[in-house]
Structures are given as C-alpha cells and as structure tokens.
Chain A
Amino acid sequence: MRIYLRILMVIAALSLGTLFFFPMWKIYLEAPQYPEGLELHIWINKLGGSSDHVLQNFNILNHYIGMEAIHPDSFAELKYMPYIVIFFMMTGVLAGILGKRNLVLYWVILLAIAGAAGIADFYLWLHKFGTNLDPTAPIKVPGMTYIPPLLGHKALLNFNALSLPAWGSLGIFLAIVIGGLVYLLSRRKTYFT
C-alpha cells in the first residue's frame, strides 16, 4: 500500500477523534416561548445543550406530558461508547501502519455496522421516552405520543422538534468514506504496480 494511502488511513482513523470535541447529534426544540431555542446535544460520553441547564429545562417541559426524566446516568452507552471509539481509532491507525487492504475493509465494515447500531439504539431510546408516559400526567392528549424525530422535524404539541447529526457524526462519516476510498484506491494501485 502506497505511503499516502497509509497516511489517509491514519487520517480516517483519527477523524473519529472529532467525537470527543463535538456532539454526535442535536435535537432542536422551537416554540413561541423559546425565541432563543432549546437544544439537546448528544455526545458519545455525555448529554449537553445550548445552555448548562438544558436538560433540566427539557425535563420540566416533559414532565407535564408524563415523560420520564432524562438523566445521563440512565444511559450505559455514554459510559462505554468512548472505549468503542478509541478501539476504532487504534485499530484504524494499526491498519494504516500495517497497510493491509483487507484489514482496512473489515475496519470500514465494522465501523459502518457500529454506526448503524448506534443510530438504531438512539431510535429505540427516542421511542421509549416518547411512548413510556406516566398515566397520571397533567396533560394527556388521547392517542398522542411524543417520539422525537430521528432525522428531520416533527411537530410535538407547541414544539417543533428538529433532529440533525452534528459535527461528531461527520467524523464517523469521514472515517467510513476515507477508509472505503483507501480500500478502493489501494486495489487500483496494486494492479498497476
């Protein structure tokens, strides 16, 4: 494998590092009373938002409809996800150093599966919070559930919820694309050399 491809592979692995600096996903809530907006940021290791207290404010709003309070402690994922990312970064760098095409392919496939699993897990959580409502809630709308959108926007009572991947997800996307490119390019190069 040519040296520049190995370097590219290392870059692909390292691009996963953006997950430690940026959230993976953002949920924006818009309502007339929140001109400044309310954003929930989902990181690989924590929950954050547009302000320090966004989770408390989400929970205050959600308790009227009987949604369970969101606590970072409820999500085991936030504890083990960073290790998975570190695992992928290390194996990716290793694949780059060793320069083995097949290793690169397995890495890309595994990463894509992990990414898809993450999204599926995310959807399951949204579904759980959106449907597991306290029957004694003050506000009950017959037949109404409050599953926030996975991607795109959805009207939930007075809120317009918008859900979008954030910079952290771009890191995963780049890792998969660059890794895949390394795999494809290295085939052509070996053919000619």
Chain B
Amino acid sequence: MEVLKQKLKRIAPKLGFMSMMMAGAVLQGCGGGDANQKSGTVDSDAAAAVYVPPGQHDEYYSFLSGGFNGQVSVYGLPSGRLLKVIPVFTQFAENGYGYNEETKPMLMTSHGFVPWDDLHHPKLSRSDGMADGKYLYVNGNNTPRVAKVDLTTFETVEIMEIPNSAGNHCSPYPTNNNEYILAGTRFSVPISTDKAGMGDASLSEYKEKFRGSISFIKTNEDDGHMELDFQILVPGFDYDLANGGKGPSGDWVFFTTYNTEKSSTLKELGASQNDRDYLAAINWKLAAKYAAEGKAHEMPANYYHNTMDHNSHIAKSTVKKSVRYLLPEECPGMMYLIPAPKSPHGIDVDPTGEYMVVNGKLAATLPVFSFSKMQQAIENKDFDGEVNGIPVFKYESVLYGEVQEPGLGPLHTEFDGRGNAYSTMFVSSEVVKWNVKDLQVLDRMPVYYSPGHLMIPGGDTREPDGKYLVVMNKITKDRYLPTGPELLHSAQLIDISGDKMRMLLDFPTLAEPHYAQAIQADKVAPNSVKFFKLDENTHPEAVKKESDVSVTRQGRTVKVNMTSIRSHFTPDNIEGVQVGDTVIFHVTNLEQDWDVPHGFAIMGANNAETLIMPGATQSLRWVPKQEGVYPFYCTDFCSALHQEMQGYVRVSPRGSNVPIKFSTGEKKPVPPAQASVN
C-alpha cells in the first residue's frame, strides 16, 4: 500500500486533478486497514512523552475551534486532556450561556437572536508579534461575527457583528501588536452603499454588483472594546484565508482568494476555471493611514456590538448605524494581487516574514513567494495588468520558488522556528516537513485521515515554540471505538523536536476543529480568576446578604432576588406566584471560594439551568403554565448537603388571593453567609 501511495504521488503532477481524486479514494479505502501497521509507526516510548502524571499540569494550553458547535475547546498539551469548553456563538444549556437574561444579548445580531454559528479560527492576541495570553479572538462564519474570549475567565466577553460580509471565513487575524483584527468575507454579496444591509440584485448580475469586504477592527485593549474602524471594499471574489506578515512584512496582511472567475453557481466547477487565482496583499498600515486622512467614505449600516460588563456580568447590545469604507482604486499602494495556483487555501508567512507559502489545494507544487521580491516588483512596477484598479504582479517576479511534489492537496503550513515548514496534505493524508530555504522535502508523516489545519505553538508568530505539532483531521473512521454514524474528529500530536517527526498521540476533539492556537501555560495560568469578588458585583439585582432577599410583584412579573450558599437558597419557600406570571429568578452566589459554583433549575422551565459562579448574579426566566408546587434545586454538586439544597415555589391559579410570601428555615436565623473579615 505504501508503495502504491508513493507511486501515485510521483505520477500525480502528470495526471493532475483526476489522480488526486483517485489517491483520495485509495486512501479512504485503506481506512479499515491493518491496525498493526498503524501502531508500528508509533515509538514504544511515545506514551511517556505525553504522560502528565495525576495532579501535574500540562505544558501548554491549546485552543481548538469547535467548528459547527460554535464553541472553543481547551485542551492541555501534550496530554490531550480536555480542560474546558467555552461557549461563544452557541447557546450552552450546560451553564445557561445564551439562555439566562445576562448572556442572551451576546447572541443578538441585526438578524435577531442567532443561537448558533460555525466557529473556525482562534487567534491569540499579540504583543510584539508574539501571543501574549490575554485574549482569544474567534470568528463566526455563518452570520459574520468576531468574538473575544477573556483568558482570565475563559468567558466570551464581546461579539462584534460584521456588516457587508457573508461567510466571515478569513477571520480573525490580529496584527503584530493587536492594532487591528482583520476579517475578510468568504462570499461576496451585493453591497449597497446608500442603504444599510445587503442590496438586492439578481445572481446574473454577480460580476457587476457583488463585492467583498475586508474589515479592520480596532482592538482598543485598554478600554477593552472592539470597534469596526473601516472596511476595504474589494473585488467580488471569494476570500478564503489570511495571515499577517512579520518583521519586514509586518505592515502587510495576505489573503487568499478563489472564484476570481466571479461565478455564482456550481462553484466547484465555476470557481475552478482560471489556472491562477490571487493572493491579495494589503498594506494595513497604509490603509489605516488613508482612513485616518479622510480617504474613507461612509455608508449606512446596521450591525450589533455586544459587550459583557466585567463587574455586573450583564451583556449589552448596541446597534451601529454606519461604517466607513475605502476603495482600493482610490488608495494607491494599499493593495496588490499576486497570481497564485488555482483556488489556494491557506496562506502562511514564515517566522522571518520573508516567505509567504500559498497552499494551493489543487496544485501539484507548493509556491513560496518572497516579500523582498514583492517590494522590488512594486518599485519596478513589474505588473501584469490590474483588476478593479488593483495592480497584479507577474508570477515570476514575486516567486521565490516551488516545493516540488510536496504531496496531494496542500491546505495549511506552520513553522518550527528552525527554518522548517510543515504542511498538511488533505488528499494524500500526511504532514510533510520541508525546508523553507532550499524547498526540499525532509520528512513525511502519514496522519489519519485527511488533515485540515495543523498547529505548532506559536507556529504563526515570529518565534515558534517548535516542540509539538497538532494536526486536526477531518475524517475519523476506525481510529476509535465506533459510536454509530456520527464520530468525533480526531487530532494527532506529533513530536517535531528531532530531524524526523514522531507520532505521539491521538485524541478525539469536539465537533470540527478547524484552526487552533497554543501557548505556554505559564503565560495564562497565573492570571486565571478563581472567583468573582462579591464586593465588586455591580449587578442591579444582586443581593449580597441573605437578610436583603426579596420577592416582589409588578403587574404580571414576579421578581425573586435570592441567594445561594452551601447548602441552601434564600428564600427556599416562595408563595404568591400565579399561573401565567413571568417569574425572574435573580440568583446571587454568595460563595467567595474557589470552585464552588451553584446551579439553579426549576421544573418545567422552557429554558436551561443557569450556573452561577461565586460572587456573580444570574437571572433565569420562567413562566409557569399550571398550578402546583414547583421544586427548584442546585444542579452542581456543591457540598455534602448538596442534595438538600432545594426549595419550592407555590403557583396558584390566575387571580387567586394567595399573597406574596417567602422564607428560609423556621425559628432560627439561617447559618452564616455574610461573615467577612471586615
């Protein structure tokens, strides 16, 4: 089988596209192959290399996108242990994110409440070209959004909707000091500059009326809020992936494009006609300068910006009504197009900032472009025409060289900081190591099966931490015990510290990880918040002492301001609620200790539970539909008397004269809850 694969690889360039498809089929056919052959590729000491003894911590945090689950999964490396799931664009019944009153506004968009998205690319915030461990930025692909996760709490704290975009795929890409987060549109759409939202157009008018947009989001990390500074309206291609330059190319960001044919239907053919699509190079610093100097136009817009307040833990939505935009044809020197192999996927810039690797998924070679040659070509005006006023370089004038026979279906590349690059080959199902300078292939590692992205901690920065490589595979098949038709995706951990790659570990991952990021644990762990300070809780409905709890009726709404502490709720007996009332439980967790969340759930609620962290207040809405006595209880095993942490709400018929009444315990005052040093 190996021989056949090698042979296929050798003749592939000659046979072209058809042979790739065949090789894919052959490889998939190998799926149920000999298990011994597979385990034979793993060293006997691999287990020791990934073993993190009980009670010890991993060396790295890794953040894997969840793809169609709209979440981020946090894994420890090298163990592959799942540490946390962070809900971002998707409602999370497990802790009430997107269900409780505080977090619902996070999922608001100009299309209303959107409880799901497809989360592709995590990127860590940067200082001086390196991940600084403060924030994680992620994109929502389906309803274009960019979100920010705070790495002190591992919570989503901000979501910005992106106007004039559809399929926010090449997003989010931070510049080297987090000046901007860039977000490019996958689908071009008719953009109407005189009214908010998308314009109306026939698909037959695609070529004339459709445009793409690249958004420049200011991060403003000091005050903590993102702000859409301006957009560049670009030709109506599809924009796939991006990556920023570094060092000499630090002012530039590169975007791969496809469908430069501007086809609007059956794109698998329509977008695959041109032999060359483009790598778009944008000078972001110059763009920012143009925008600041008044080159920007303004158009009406309608997009949401949702922020979570740090002290009240309440999310607020604001609606923005306009957006500034630049037109490349009016901004000379801001944007260029580099011809690239047909329908390129990933674009990756090496740590020195000199080499741009374009992963042409349908190409037989892997082209590497040179930033210094590009600078020279700009100087010499070495152009081959233009598109929409954007100069197009001659391929040869910016090409450094091509990796010959890299494998089939290259998608993504990362770097080890020792002059080597590692590329995933989707079709030939392998990771290929090659030297960036001499473009020679050095090693191949079969992976199972069909890798998408790969990630080396810091592998996209100026100083990669070239010890491990995580490859995220798209097809799982027989790698684990079968679980019916739907299988988890599989990631594999590879040791890249030596000359030859060494397979260490398989671990299943949630939904579909696209990209991932990893960082040394000591850049994040020391800042991790253990609990929220009750003194700093500014939630208007917070109750900080058990003696201050209340149940109040305002019309048909009953507000319950209550507390939880080991092991009781105050109040835990509530009367006077009537059928059809809207009851809002504002539960404050009075605990001030590490790892003592209390949950709150009530029978029959058309809602999730809510999980309240120590010191925080969360609010759950409930509309009882039938009379009766409804139990509520703590859902997170909090103490030896957790099972006793429960209460009752009496629901009387509509119009009944049962007065509002609430209590906890009988004659004695309740146990201590507000003791403090002061």
Binding site for B on A (CB under 8 A): 36, 46-49, 51-57, 59-60, 63-64, 69-72, 136, 138-139
Contacts and interface: CB of A to CB of B under 8 A. Distances in A.
Contacts of A60: 565-566, 591, 593, 671-672
B671 A56 contact: no
Contacts of A48: 677
B101 to A, nearest CB: 27
Given A36-B594, A136-B668, 15 more contacts: A51-B592, A52-B592, A55-B677, A56-B673, A60-B565, A60-B566, A60-B591, A60-B593, A60-B672, A63-B671, A64-B639, A64-B640, A70-B675, A138-B641, A138-B644
Given A64-B640, A139-B640, A59 B592 contact: no
B676 interface: yes
Contacts of A64: 639-641
Given A63-B671, A69-B672, A53 B677 contact: yes
Interface in B636-678: 639-641, 644, 668, 671-677
A59 B676 CA distance: 10
A48 B677 CA distance: 6
Contacts of B593: 53, 56-57, 60
A59 B566 CA distance: 10
A55 to B, nearest CB: 5
Interface string B347-375: 00000000000000000000000000000
A145 B673 CA distance: 23
Nearest to A36: B594
Question: What is the interface of chain B mostly: helix, strand, loop, or mixed?
Answer: loop
Contact of B675 (A51, A56, A136): A56
Contacts of B566: 60
B677 A59 contact: no
B672 A54 contact: no
Contacts of A63: 671-672
B615 to A, nearest CB: 9
Interface residues of B, number: 19
A138 B566 CA distance: 12
Contacts of A55: 675-677
9 contacts: A36-B594, A52-B592, A52-B676, A55-B677, A56-B593, A56-B674, A59-B671, A59-B675, A60-B593
B366 to A, nearest CB: 49
A135 to B, nearest CB: 11
Interface string B294-334: 00000000000000000000000000000000000000000
B677 A52 contact: yes
Contact of A69 (B533, B641, B644, B671): B671
A79 B641 CA distance: 36
Interface in B594-628: 594
Contacts of A46: 677
Nearest to B670: A63
Contacts of A56: 592-593, 672-676
Contact of A53 (B641, B668, B676): B676
B592 A57 contact: yes
A51, A53, A55, A64, most chain B CB atoms within 10 A: A53
Contacts of A57: 592-593
B597 to A, nearest CB: 14
A185 to B, nearest CB: 43
Contacts of A52: 533, 592, 676-677
Contacts of A49: 677
Contacts of B594: 36
Contacts of A59: 671-672, 675
Nearest to B534: A53
Nearest to B594: A36
Contacts of A72: 677
A46 B671 CA distance: 22
A64 B668 CA distance: 15
A139 B543 CA distance: 28
A53 B533 CA distance: 10
Contacts of B675: 55-56, 59, 69-71
A16 B640 CA distance: 44
Contacts of B565: 60
Nearest to A56: B675
A11 B396 CA distance: 84
B566, B591, B639, B676, most chain A CB atoms within 10 A: B676
A53 B593 CA distance: 7
Contacts of B641: 64, 138
Contacts of A70: 675
Contacts of B676: 52-53, 55-56
